[in-house]
Amino acid sequence: MNEELDRPRLGLTPEPDEERREDVQESEPSEADDWPEPEAESEPADEPEEDEGVPAEEDELPRARGPEHAAGDLRVPDGYGVIEGEPNGARRAVGVVVARFNGGLTGELLARALDALERAGVGREAVTVIPVPGAFELPLAAMALAKTRRYSCIVALGAVVRGETPHFEYVASEAASGLQLAGLETGVPVAFGVLTTENEEQARARLDKGAEAARTALEMADVFSQLRAAAGTTP
3-state per-residue secondary structure call for 23-72: HHHHHHHHHHHHCHHHHHHHHHHHHHHHHHHHHHHHHHHHHHCCCCCCCC
Return all residues near 212 (Cβ < 8 A) that are at least 6 apart: 67, 69, 116, 193
For the question of residue 69 being annotated catalytic, the response is no
Catalytic hit among 91, 167, 169, 228: 167
Distance CA 173, CA 119 (A): 31
Name the phi and psi angles at 157, rounded to 5.
-125, 135
Do the Cβ atoms of 94 and 116 come closer than 8 Å?
A: no
Q: Which amino acid would we find at residue 131?
A: P
Distance CA 6, CA 85 (A): 105
Sheet holding 190-197, edge to edge: 127-132, 94-99, 153-161, 190-197
Do the Cβ atoms of 117 and 217 come closer than 8 Å?
A: no
Do the Cβ atoms of 140 and 178 come closer than 8 Å?
A: yes
Q: What residues act catalytically? A: 167
